[in-house]
């Protein structure tokens, strides 16, 4: 091999060694930086088993929490076909079967590898409270069947139970304030922070069998039975909350009809809240099928009652008002039926039945109290034909109840919860906030994230991108030089063989 070629190879080897040394120094001396891996997402399922229907809500939140509470968002909602689970008292298996289509949908949303760790809850409200009061064994059978149905799916089922009225009201309050970012908000610094000097809102919920009011009063709550404490995002909250069983819309209208029947003392009932000319028949057993109404001892369960609407706004309002007792006695400030309630304070979000009843009459856009009164008076003064003409796509039940439901809503807010012409503008009627349904389930999920273990952010050591580029270039140079060296060695061996020959 020629001396010149050897010198070249020597310089090439030396250069390769030098470049390798430089690469090592570069990789060692240039500091690495820490990078945060994307936070793992957790999922949760909550069934809202109400008195008239059931819905399944799918939520998710980052495994890393903010001050102990998850930042929860709604992924999807699924409405269960059929009535509420309390209606399956005589067919418990049907209650469980009704949930399966929505569970199937949830399994399509949640990644398969995370389904078994997805906490799943079923909360039943006033409908099951009434069934338990009526027949506790039937209520237990319904719960057994829905638990059996949910247990067939690969989720972390944590039980079905009846929420207390206080829980239902408080969870609704959490939902309202979370969605309006009065508990925690995303700042311009791109992080979640607790808002400063922000007033929380009250929550008004009207279901089929109960109604709830929850707000932060101006002073201490004097009745401990209506006092609720929460800790969310590192802050303590002291609230007033009360739930009235039997004063949800369906049960209240049943009480109204029962009172009219007992006042008539006959099988013919004139209903001043139903449109003029409307008629329907029902039996005594159908009317008195709830613990909220008590049949007179002389009434025969099979007796057919004929109900005729008379469309009288004044008489309707008076009949609805008689459902409430306005006496506070010696207990100081009170709300519905003499129950202790501090004066309402601040802004309120009214949802569920409050929203649906007034939205049907296009009264959820901030209308004045006088306009709301006038509109309800007009609908209550209408005939059956007029109501059908005004709302051609509505169901028979919606048309029949347009007057009594809106009258009851207004009376409950004014006479029951003690709003007035001054505080009326503070009520905001909503169905959703930021495309999320307003109700107790989101608040429940947020509260439950307090007891679901948090996962810390994971940091990994990440070399800067320029180092990887430099290392790749050096590796390529070294490979080229190695190839040249091997080629030269082969050439040298070949030359030596020819010289021997």
What residues are labeled active site?
A: 168
Phi then psi for residue 205, to 5 deg, are: -125, 130
SS (H, E, C) 279-310: EEEEEHHHHCCCCCCCCCCCCCCCCEEEEEEC
Q: Is 417 helix (H, G, I), strand (E, B) or coil?
A: coil
> What residues have CB less than 8 Å from 289, skipping those under 6 apart?
none
CB 59 within 8 A of CB 43: yes
**Cβ pair 314, 376 in contact under 8 A:** no
3-class secondary structure, 221: coil
Contact (Cβ atoms closer than 8 angstroms) between residue 345 and residue 215? yes
Report whether 211 contacts 251 (CB < 8 A): no
Structure tokens at 266: 């006959």
d(CA 434, CA 411): 29
Token pair of 156, please?
């972390």
CA–CA distance, 428 with 201 (Å, rounded to integer): 10
């Amino acid at each position: 091999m020629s001396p010149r070629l050897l010198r070249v190879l020597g310089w090439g080897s030396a250069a390769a060694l030098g470049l390798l040394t430089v690469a090592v120094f570069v990789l060692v001396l240039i500091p690495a930086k820490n990078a945060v891996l994307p936070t793992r997402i957790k999922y949760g399922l909550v069934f809202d088993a109400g008195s008239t229907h059931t819905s399944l809500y799918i939520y998710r939140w980052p495994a890393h929490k903010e001050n102990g509470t998850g930042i929860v968002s709604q992924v999807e909602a699924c409405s269960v076909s059929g009535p509420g689970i309390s209606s399956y008292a005589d067919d418990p298996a049907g209650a469980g079967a009704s949930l399966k289509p929505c569970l199937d949908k949830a399994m399509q949303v949640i990644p398969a590898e995370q389904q078994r760790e997805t906490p799943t809850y079923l909360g039943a409200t006033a409908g099951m409270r009434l069934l338990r009061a009526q027949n506790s064994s039937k209520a237990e059978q319904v719960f057994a069947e829905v638990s059996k149905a949910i247990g067939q799916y690969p989720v972390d089922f944590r039980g079905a139970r009846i929420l207390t009225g206080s829980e239902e009201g408080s969870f609704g309050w959490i939902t309202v304030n979370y969605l309006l970012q009065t508990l925690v908000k995303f700042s311009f610094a791109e992080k979640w922070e607790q808002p400063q000097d922000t007033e929380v809102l009250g929550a008004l919920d009207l279901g089929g069998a109960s109604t709830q009011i929850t707000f932060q009063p101006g002073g201490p709550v004097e009745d401990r039975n209506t006092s609720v404490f929460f800790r969310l995002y590192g802050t303590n909250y002291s609230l007033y909350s009360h739930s009235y069983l039997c004063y949800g819309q369906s049960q209240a209208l049943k009480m109204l009809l029962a009172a009219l029947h007992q006042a008539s003392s006959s099988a013919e009932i004139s209903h001043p809240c139903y449109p003029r000319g409307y008629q329907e028949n029902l039996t005594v057993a159908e009317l008195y099928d709830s613990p909220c109404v008590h049949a007179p001892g002389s009434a025969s369960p099979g007796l057919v009652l004929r109900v005729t609407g008379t469309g009288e706004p004044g008489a309707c309002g008076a009949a609805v008002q008689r459902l409430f007792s306005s006496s506070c006695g010696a207990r100081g400030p009170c709300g519905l039926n003499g129950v202790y309630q501090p004066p309402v304070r601040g802004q309120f979000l009214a949802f569920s039945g409050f929203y649906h009843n007034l939205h049907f009459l296009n009264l959820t856009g901030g209308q004045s109290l006088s306009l709301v009164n006038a509109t309800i008076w007009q609908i209550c003064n209408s005939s059956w034909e007029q109501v059908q003409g005004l709302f051609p796509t509505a169901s028979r039940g919606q048309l029949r109840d347009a007057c009594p439901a809106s009258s009851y809503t207004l009376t409950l807010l004014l006479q029951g919860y003690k709003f007035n012409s001054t505080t009326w503008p503070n009520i905001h009627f909503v169905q959703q906030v930021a495309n999320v349904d307003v109700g107790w389930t989101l608040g429940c999920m947020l509260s439950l994230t307090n007891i679901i273990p948090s996962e810390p952010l994971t940091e990994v050591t990440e070399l800067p991108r320029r180092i990887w580029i430099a290392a790749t270039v050096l590796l390529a140079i070294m490979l080229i030089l190695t190839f040249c060296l091997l080629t030269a060695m082969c050439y040298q061996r070949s030359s030596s063989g020819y010289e021997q020959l």
